[in-house]
Structure 1
Amino acid sequence: MTTANRPIRIGLQLQPQHADYATIRRTASEAEELGVDIVFNWDHFYPLYGDPDGKHFECWTMLGAWAESTSRVEIGALVTCNSYRNPELLADMARTVDHISDGRLILGIGSGWFEKDYAEYGYEFGTAGGRLNDLAESLPRIESRLAKLNPQPTRRIPVLIGGGGEKKTLRLVARHADIWHGFGDVEVAERKLRILDQHCADIGRDPAEIERSVGVQGDPEESGDKLHDLGITLFTVGVGGPDYDLSGLRKWIAWRDSRNG
């Protein structure tokens, strides 16, 4: 599918912090009823804002539960930290959640960055460059293990890689990803996409094969059309607990529906 004819999609990053699980499950269901396309969580062990030791839940256990408690939306982590699980194990987890969800999993992955997670859970933090090198080593291992599993995944599980590093991360996106996810304003996104296109050209890949995704805030009328003009078609709104205000998500869903026709 080319960039030009991809439909606009809206994601919700339902951040698993500062809330009871019953509220998280109810919000995921509400987002599905509102018409969101994807419900993401994130892969951390502690809240990223608010009380640093507040309520928090683990990522992949939750994805397995969402696979049963939702029926239409795609689900995934935005993003899985590569450092926390052996690549072969992660591939098997992804295949299993793919089957539980009847083929609705997106495998989001990144190199990791939140030092508190590493320190508290006993992972070696190392350096940003070292973590990116580990991700580069893990991605082919994940692909190889997925090809060996019995039963096979129900579909070719889409791989989303998050991050904007221009020399390493975007090169990995060009080689391995079906979706690129980044952050930033229109000017930043334009630069990152130009560099991603060049990395694709360097290896002979059609850049239109990669869906372009960004995290968004505020009103879609302010940035939605400008980002879409760059070829971005997946827009994800993040919400945190304890109350999970979906008013912004509703605006982005309405904007999607007005543009998709």
Structure 2
Amino acid sequence: MTERRIRIGLQLQPQHADYDSIRRTASAAEDLGADIVFNWDHFYPLYGDPEGMHFECWTMLGAWAESTSRVEIGALVTCNSYRNPELLADMARTVDHISGGRLILGIGSGWFEKDYDEYGYEFGTAGGRLDDLAESLPRIESRLGKLNPAPTRKIPVLIGGGGEKKTLKLVAKHADIWHGFGDPEVVGRKVKILDRHCADVGRDPAEIERSCGVQGEPDELGPKLLELGVTTFTVGVGGPDYDLGALEKWIAWREKNQG
């Protein structure tokens, strides 16, 4: 497998906090040495007060493109249902330029029913939403190839999810990064299935970066995930008090294990 550098991400969840706090935390994560700062694409908090403060994803990414200077930025992940694929491609290209080539285009099929109901999107079925994602990805790729000016680089596409029949097949076809979650046993099973999907479509699995959401102690969890080919480790943190203690631990572990 291709030798990749260990990267540490922060999912800065835009809930239960004012925007000044969110902006300061994104900058603090960059100063600490994080490699990527993600938000998420929801309209309401996922935990805590369900009607608590919350901000929109892509507007925020445009602001982060200006308020940060080194970290990569992106959504973990964009909900495919909320925006026309061609529009999303144009938004991604624009944020790519604003940020000087630091955008990761994270995308998934969507799952949070309240978002759909409150904002007037059809929730449908999990299978139907995955079929929509399968239709959208080639359209996004096509539009990115037509835009003027073109993106500053080949914008990395991150697909999040662990569905073994559909999602991981889409990862094999379209993604530069796969983002999963779960304990090492679960991640190990998904990695093997992803490798099989890559073989089916004639793709070298080493082309796909493995990313994982992490909880727990890096000295215990990190080596187990590294053995499975995971090289990007992302800590999630919610407001109002964005505690970056876990992020600091993972960054320190990266420094000891970068090789």
Give the TM-score, by structure 2 length.
0.99
User: Within 5 A, what are the aligned runs for 1:75-154?
Assistant: 75-154=73-152
Q: CA deviation at 1:30?
A: 0.3
CA distance in 2, matches of 1:219, 1:195: 27
1:203 maps to 201
Superposition map of 1:65-80 within 5 A? 65-80=63-78
Instruction: Indicate the SS of the match to 1:118.
Output: helix
Shift of 1:11: 0.2
SS, match of residue 116 in structure 1: helix
Determine which of 234, 237, 240 is the counterpart of 1:236: 234
Structure 2 CA distance for aligned equivalents of residues 213 and 194 of structure 1: 14
Which residue of the partner structure matches residue 31 of structure 1?
29
Which whole-Å deviations, capped at 9, do the CAs of 1:205-229 have from their partners, x for residues lacking one? Answer: 0000000000001110121000001
Distance 2:257 2:219 in 1: 11
Structure 1, unaligned runs of 5 or more: none
Distance in 1 between residues matched to 2:235 and 2:16, nearest whole Å: 17
Residue-by-residue CA offset, 1:11-67 (whole Å, 9 max, x unaligned): 000000000000000000000000000000000000000000000000000000000
Which of residues 34, 42, 51 is equivalent to 2:40?
42
Aligned-partner Cα distance in 1 for 2:14–2:226: 28
**Secondary structure of 2:145 counterpart:** helix
Which amino acid in the other structure matches residue 12 of structure 1?
A: L
Q: Which residue of 2 aligns with 1:6?
A: 4
Distance 2:246 2:182 in 1: 18
Matching residue's letter, 1:207: P
1:222 and 1:230 map into 2 onto residues whose CA distance is 14
Q: Secondary structure at the match of 2:73?
A: strand
Runs ≥4 in structure 1, deviation > 2 angstroms?
A: none
In structure 1, the partner of 2:165 is 167
Q: Per the alignment, in what secondary structure is the counterpart of residue 120 of structure 1?
A: helix
CA RMSD of aligned residues (A): 0.5
Q: CA deviation at 1:162?
A: 0.2
Please say if 1:221 is aligned against 2:209.
Answer: no
Q: Structure 2 regions of 5+ residues with no counterpart?
A: none
Partner SS state of residue 148, structure 1 = coil
Aligned partner of 2:127: which letter? Answer: G
What's the CA shift string for 1:166-216, capped at 9, x where partnerless?
Answer: 000000000000000001000000000000000000011000000000000
Q: TM-score, normalised by structure 1?
A: 0.99
Supply the distance in 2 between the matched residues of 1:40 and 1:150 (Cα, whole angstroms): 26
Task: Tell me what 1:186 maps to.
Answer: 184
Partner Cα distance (2:225, 2:238) in 1: 24
Tell me how many residue pairs correspond in the alignment. Answer: 259
Letter in 1 for 2:58: W
